[in-house]
């Protein structure tokens, strides 16, 4: 185990201060920040997904941010392959790979491996999209439960992306997604240590509200307007990023901007609850190699000198 290269994970719910901490740690230790957020991979969504700014990206290497067009949905399998390549490149350059984000599925795929599922094919994908549009995610989930109960039991009926993905896999391969995922996988050949941010709920709610207000000032409405002009399939992941459906409804004249902000903040808050639950119950690293921070932070500036020393001592010891 000690012979494997070391990578650092900085994880936690949206608005917990991950990006700022990763930037500071990367500057101090000579790291490369590797995006582990499923929405920050889309190039059209810099503002609405709170991607690092151009100035922040210039301070240390940042990779896998804004690398896909919104028309091309990403996947855990695609991201894992790209992340492993970027981790190897950072290691070869003498830099510490720092995986920063809040997408638990991506962390799980990277650490534990992911089943090699055959491409279901265009016909299965088209059918899943049609059924989703015709019957909605709950209707499609009910249909999925009749043919692949094991997979349906794992999915929230409202999770349109994963329900549609499960349907297309069953239809296109003849086997359910749960059955494919039960196959043996190949863990990543790395040692992982983790800094897990787990801030109080009230601090997180305040941070979400503040961030969305800042997004509006920074041009989130124009960004969503430009995205809608592409006339993409509304089922695409990028079209359902937090804030996009709500601002789109405002741009169509259906709700006020204040109501759009309220709904977006509510949806984001609900998502952070699911994120926090996932991180509390899933292993990102051995418990001895995990350091949990319960206060919301915005980089090292909010730490005392003794807290900074403890943080970097942890990273150096586990590394």
Q: Which residues contact 18 (CB under 8 A, 6 or more apart)?
A: 10, 11, 12, 100, 101, 102, 197
Provide the b/e sequence for 33-42 (b: ≥16 CB within 10 Å).
bbbbbbbbbb
- For the chain, the C-alpha Rg in angstroms (whole number) is 20
Q: Which residues contact 16 (CB under 8 A, 6 or more apart)?
A: 102, 197, 198, 199, 204, 207, 272, 296, 297
Residue 100 labelled as part of a binding site:
no
Residue 12 labelled as part of a binding site:
yes
Residue 113 labelled as part of a binding site:
no
Could you give the CA distance from residue 279 to residue 272 in angstroms, rounded to a whole number? 10
Query: How many Cα atoms sit within 13 Å of 91 on the Cβ side?
Result: 16
Strands (E), the chain: 6-11, 31-35, 62-63, 96-101, 191-197, 290-293
Residue 103 labelled as part of a binding site:
no
Residue 14 labelled as part of a binding site:
yes
Contact 221, 34 (CB under 8 A): no
Residue 19 labelled as part of a binding site:
yes
Q: Which residues contact 143 (CB under 8 A, 6 or more apart)?
A: 131, 135, 167
Residue 31 labelled as part of a binding site:
no
Contact 38, 217 (CB under 8 A): no
The partner residues of 31 in beta bridges, in order of sequence, read: 96
Residue 15 labelled as part of a binding site:
yes
Q: Which residues are annotated as a binding site for ATP?
A: 12-19
Instruction: Output the known binding site.
Output: 12-19
Residue numbers in the known binding site for substrate are 14-19
């Amino acid at each position: 185990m000690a012979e494997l290269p070391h990578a650092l994970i900085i994880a936690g719910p949206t608005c917990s201060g991950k990006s700022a901490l990763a930037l500071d740690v990367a500057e101090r230790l000579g790291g490369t920040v590797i995006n582990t957020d499923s929405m920050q991979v889309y190039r059209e969504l810099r503002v609405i997904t709170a991607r690092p700014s151009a100035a922040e990206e210039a301070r240390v290497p940042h990779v896998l941010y804004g690398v896909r067009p919104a028309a091309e949905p990403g996947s855990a399998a695609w991201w894992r392959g790209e992340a492993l390549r970027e981790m190897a490149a950072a290691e070869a350059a003498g830099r510490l790979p720092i995986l920063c984000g809040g997408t638990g599925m991506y962390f799980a795929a990277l650490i534990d491996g992911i089943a090699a599922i055959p491409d279901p094919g265009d016909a299965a994908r088209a059918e899943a999209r049609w059924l989703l549009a015709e019957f909605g995610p709950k209707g499609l989930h009910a249909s999925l439960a009749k043919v692949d109960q094991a997979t349906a039991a794992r999915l929230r009926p409202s999770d349109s992306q994963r329900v549609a993905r499960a349907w297309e896999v069953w239809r296109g391969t003849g086997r359910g997604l749960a059955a494919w995922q039960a196959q043996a996988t190949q863990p990543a050949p790395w040692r992982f240590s983790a800094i897990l941010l787990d801030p109080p709920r009230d601090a997180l709610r305040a941070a979400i509200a503040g961030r969305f207000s800042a997004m509006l000032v920074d041009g989130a409405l124009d960004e969503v307007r430009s995205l809608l002009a592409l006339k993409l399939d509304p089922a695409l992941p990028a079209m359902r990023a937090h804030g996009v459906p709500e601002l789109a409804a405002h741009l169509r004249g259906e709700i006020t901007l204040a109501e759009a902000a309220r709904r977006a903040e509510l949806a984001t808050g609900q998502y952070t609850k699911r994120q926090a639950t996932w991180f509390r119950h899933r292993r990102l690293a051995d418990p001895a190699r995990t350091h949990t921070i319960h206060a919301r932070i915005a980089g090292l500036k909010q730490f005392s000198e003794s807290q900074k020393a403890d943080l970097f001592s942890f990273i150096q010891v586990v590394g």
